Amino acid sequence: MRLHDFTLSGNCYKVRLFLALLGREAELLQVDLRGGAQRSPEFLALNPRGQVPVLEDEGLSIHDSQAILAYLARRYADAGWFPQDAAGQARVIAWLSFAANEAARGPGQARLHALFRMPGDLKEAQQRALRVLELLDTHLAHHTWLAEGTAPSIADIAVYPYVALAGDGGLDLSPYTHVAAWFARIRALPGYIGMPGL
């Protein structure tokens, strides 16, 4: 198994974290994003979107961090990580959308502007990030894990990184005590690994 990776990418960290929780190893291949390696013909053949992460496994090339989590769960993990009944699957997928949209556009984008100096409206991204934090804090006041099961799922792994990195985008996480308790539960999972900034 090979992971085309970038250490500071929260989307890549999602995959590294899940692999660690599953006790699986992948060969990590650093993609030189600053040098534009993600736009090389070789990389675009792996992922036409020109984004990391990309997982290669058993002759398959899988891109999109949410899709990679789903693949690893279905292929290598206990069923609880991605329930396969219609309702359970839908509950997880609603959070995968949240990871791809709200979490990426809120805390994820605030971090890109503040930490990596990407042009754009930092204040607007921070406003979106505050709504993400408020929504999560309300939800986690009554739920142990995002998708409402008794065990963690790929929903937690997909949403956690950019929320936990919100400080990099200039956000103050301290008012969100239920979010903090959820962070602690994730960090207590056997095999947990962090990333720079966490």
- 123 lies in the site for a copy of itself, by CB under 8 A: no
Q: Which of residues 2-41 bind a copy of itself (CB under 8 A)?
A: none
Q: Give CA–CA dist 12/64, Å, rounded.
A: 9
Is 155 buried (19+), middle (13-18) or exposed (0-12) by CB count in 10 A? buried
- 104 lies in the site for a copy of itself, by CB under 8 A: yes
Segment (H or E) for 41: helix 41-46
For 113-144, b/e burial (b = at least 16 CB within 10 A) is bbeeeeeeebeebbebbbebbeebbeebeeee
Residue 90: DSSP 8-state: H
Cis amide bond preceding 107, omega within 30 = no
45 contacts a copy of itself (rule: CB under 8 A): no
Q: Which is nearer to a copy of itself, 77 or 189 (CB)?
A: 77
CB 92, min distance to a copy of itself, A:
8
Whether the CB-CB separation of 56 and 32 falls below 8 Å is answered with no
**The only residue of 75, 123, 185, 187 in contact with a copy of itself, by rule CB under 8 A:** 75
Nearer to a copy of itself, 30 or 138 (CB): 138
Binding string, 142-181, against a copy of itself, x = CB under 8 A? ----------------------------------------
Residue ranges that bind a copy of itself, judged by CB under 8 A: 48-49, 60, 62-68, 70-71, 74-75, 84-87, 89-91, 93-94, 96-98, 100-102, 104-105, 121, 135, 138-139
